[in-house]
Amino acid sequence: MSTITPTKFLQLPYQFDVLKLQQDVALLLEQQWIAHFNTKGYDGDWKAIPLYAPNGDASNIQALSNSNDPLLLTTNLKACSYLNEVIETFQFPLLSARLLKLSVGAYIKPHKDHKLGYEDGYFRLHIPIITNKDVHFMLDNTEVTMQEGECWYTNVNYVHSVRNQGVTDRIHLVIDGRRDEWSDNLFFSLAPKESLITPRAIQQSPETIKFTIRELERSNMPIAQTLIKDLKEKLALINDSNY
């Protein structure tokens, strides 16, 4: 049986006006940025400003909410017409929209998010507003370089990390959405459908997974043990499903 190569990241066909994005962000730089709640998951400063949140709560920086409250724009966004225009470009159901700032020298440690890949029916988009050449975004051992004004899908179910080794803060507009017909038409025009929605547990053969584990066991990479654990869990899922 042939394996399916998963689409772990994807550049979407948008190029937003960088100057307008940065002008809007300049209006918010003196606002109260809220430290990310997962304080053990990063070193340095990693902060957020919510743009859309349940009931428009400007203190709620959660990506996904269990609340039934309506998702409304916050006071932060009301002065930023271009940011709102960018968000409204996307016609899928919106789950959250935030500005995330990773300060100079800060490091988001390797981690995985829970069920936030296209195969789960949810997905995350990144639009860099301010970045630099010394920002390193690693996704499943691959560096993804995102330029200002671009738009990227990243499957954050995979292990990922970010390090800002530059001299400027990194600020992204981060949008979380729910998969629908509009997003399917967009994503499937850019990558094979099977590579986006096939469950990750069956995207690799047991032989390939076992080989990868053996290679990682010989590796000195700090992230190796995390990857090995993830692969062993995937192998167990395949065995349980009698692949």
Asked whether residue 161 falls in the same domain as residue 128, the answer is: yes
User: Phi/psi at 111 (nearest 5 deg)?
Assistant: -160, 170
- Evaluate whether residue 4 is within a structural domain: no
pLDDT in tens, 4-34: 889 999 999 999 999 999 999 999 998 889 9
Return all residues near 238 (Cβ < 8 A) that are at least 6 apart: 201, 202, 206, 209
- Pairing outcome for strands 71-73 and 142-143: unpaired
Tell me the average pLDDT across 158-179: 97
- Evaluate whether residue 73 is within a structural domain: yes
Return all residues near 134 (Cβ < 8 A) that are at least 6 apart: 164, 165, 166, 167
Pull the structure tokens for residue 221: 């990479």
pLDDT in tens, 222-233: 667 777 776 786
Domain coverage including residue 234:
204-240
Pull the structure tokens for residue 29: 């730089």
**Alpha helices in the chain, H assignment, sequence order:** 18-28, 75-78, 81-89, 181-188, 193-197, 206-217, 224-240
Could you report how far apart the first and last alpha carbons of the chain are, in Å? Answer: 10
Distance CA 114, CA 158 (A): 9
Asked whether residue 156 falls in the same domain as residue 216, the answer is: no
Asked whether residue 156 falls in the same domain as residue 211, the answer is: no
Q: Residue 12's Cα: distance from chain center in Å?
A: 13
Asked whether residue 111 falls in the same domain as residue 182, the answer is: yes
Confidence of residue 202 (pLDDT cuts 50, 70, 90): very low
Tell me the average pLDDT across 26-49: 93
Return all residues near 60 (Cβ < 8 A) that are at least 6 apart: 50, 53, 54
The label of the residue with tokens 């390797």 reads: 110
Asked whether residue 116 falls in the same domain as residue 60, the answer is: yes
Tell me the average pLDDT across 87-95: 97
Strand partners, 126: 152, 174
Whether this model's pTM surpasses 0.85? no
pLDDT above 90 as % of the chain: 69
DSSP state of 89: H
Asked whether residue 117 falls in the same domain as residue 230, the answer is: no
Lowest pLDDT segment from 75-89, 105-119, 203-217: 203-217
Q: Given this model, what pLDDT does residue 242 score?
A: 34
- Evaluate whether residue 2 is within a structural domain: no
Distance CA 68, CA 50 (A): 18
- Evaluate whether residue 77 is within a structural domain: yes
CATH code, 17: 2.60.120.330
Average pLDDT, the chain: 88
The label of the residue with tokens 């960088």 reads: 18
Return all residues near 81 (Cβ < 8 A) that are at least 6 apart: 24
Domain count for the chain: 2
Asked whether residue 103 falls in the same domain as residue 208, the answer is: no
Asked whether residue 26 falls in the same domain as residue 46, the answer is: yes
Distance CA 19, CA 16 (A): 9
- Evaluate whether residue 121 is within a structural domain: yes
Asked whether residue 119 falls in the same domain as residue 25, the answer is: yes
Asked whether residue 54 falls in the same domain as residue 151, the answer is: yes
pLDDT at 241 over 50: no
Asked if 36 and 99 touch (Cβ cutoff 8 Å), the reply is no
- Evaluate whether residue 3 is within a structural domain: no
DSSP letter string, 109-144: EEE--SS-SGGGTEEEEEEEEE--TTEEEEETTEE-
Asked whether residue 145 falls in the same domain as residue 46, the answer is: yes
- Evaluate whether residue 1 is within a structural domain: no
Asked whether residue 143 falls in the same domain as residue 224, the answer is: no
- Pairing outcome for strands 42-43 and 107-111: antiparallel
